[in-house]
Amino acid sequence: MRIGIVGGGAVGLLYAFQLSKIFTVTLYVKRDEALQALKSQGITILYNEHKQETRKVEVMKWESNVPLRDDLIIVATKQYGLSAILPVLKLCTKDQSILFLQNGMSHIDMLEQISNPQILLGIVEHGVKKHNDCTVMWTGKGRTKLAGYPVTKNDRHASFFMNKWMDSIGMDFPLEVCSDYYGMMIEKLLVNSIINPLTAIFDVRNGELLSNPYYQNCMKQLYNEMNFLVPVEKRKQMWEHICSICEKTAKNTSSMRRDLNEGRETEVDAILGYLMNLAEKQGKSVPLTEFIYKAVKGLQNDASC
């Protein structure tokens, strides 16, 4: 089975490394410098200061007008990069499948434009930090969750892909298959909507949101404003889940904090922006969410100047 991975960021490199153990993987990157580095050096995963592993993976230059021939395509770009690659994804056939691994949920509105292939949605719970074009630090082992959109069809590529993954590398690189894509995505959206922007604004690691009582109070207030998305009987459980993610990733730097510190565009529109749209549709007032959204946008503007 041929797997194509679009995007040479931290997530793209981690998944190319892991999935190349059992599939024929091609990694598509845009920059010539990244292409040459990966061809000559392969992908290196740093587990800690003393342990690392390197694998060679097929790598190709991304071409915006060339159809992809892989059986299953994993889209590992940032949310705001999807519009640029959409024309190629629309060329995929019914014999192909596409898996999206983005933060936020704004890409769901785009999926109706892709009519032929089987669509899978995924969320990434791993901690991973990119050091350079061919090296990433795996800072925290989590899970990948996948669900079909709108539901999982009887697709031989998707089924073979998920079964092979779980049977071959599932112990070291866990996979969970979910039946409800919306519930899966909402859970991740709430985690990202609280941890990412608050760590970015306060410029702290994830765990400090819990260890500092004032930051934790901000977390709680923000969650209370957002929990209209969660059934009443599950709200306590969801809050505990968000706190557990903070604990498990205590030493990690969120992607939004890292993007701000390194002067890059954040995914705040796909995360808080999407949540604000949901609130508007349901007639909910979310002033604290709007304030934090504007704060991140302001910091992003300063960082890019």
DSSP assignments along 193-204, one per residue = HHHHHHHHHHT-
Alpha carbon dihedral 80, 85, 89, 90, in 10-degree steps, equals: 90
Which residue, 289, 256, 258, 295, is CA-closest to 274?
Answer: 289
Q: Which residues pair with 49 in a beta bridge?
A: none
Backbone phi, then psi, for 69, in 5-degree steps? -110, 0
Q: How far is CA 268 from CA 64, 85, 200, 297, in A?
A: 26, 20, 10, 8
Residues 265 and 300: beta-carbon distance below 8 Å: yes
Q: Which residues of the chain have pLDDT under 70?
A: 151-155, 305
Which residues are part of the catalytic machinery? 188
Ramachandran sector of residue 79 (left: φ over 0; alpha: ψ -120 to 50; beta: rest) = alpha
**Tokens, residue 141:** 């082992």
The residue written with tokens 């993007």 in the block is: 259
| Alpha carbon distance 41, 44 (integer Å) | 8
DSSP assignments along 7-26, one per residue = --SHHHHHHHHHHTTTSEEE
- Buried residues in 86-98 as b, exposed as e (16+ CB within 10 A): eebbeebeeebbb
Chain CA centroid to CA 124, Å? 5
Residues 138 and 128: beta-carbon distance below 8 Å: yes
The residue written with tokens 């508007």 in the block is: 280
Please confirm whether the linkage preceding 150 is cis (ω < 30° from 0). yes
Name the DSSP class of 212: S
| Alpha carbon distance 203, 61 (integer Å) | 35
Q: How far is CA 150 from CA 147, 219, 256, in A?
A: 9, 32, 28
pLDDT of residue 299: 95
Residues 143 and 249: beta-carbon distance below 8 Å: no
| Alpha carbon distance 129, 11 (integer Å) | 8
Whether pTM exceeds 0.95: no
User: Cβ contacts of residue 290 below 8 Å, gap of 6+?
Assistant: 276
Residues 247 and 210: beta-carbon distance below 8 Å: yes
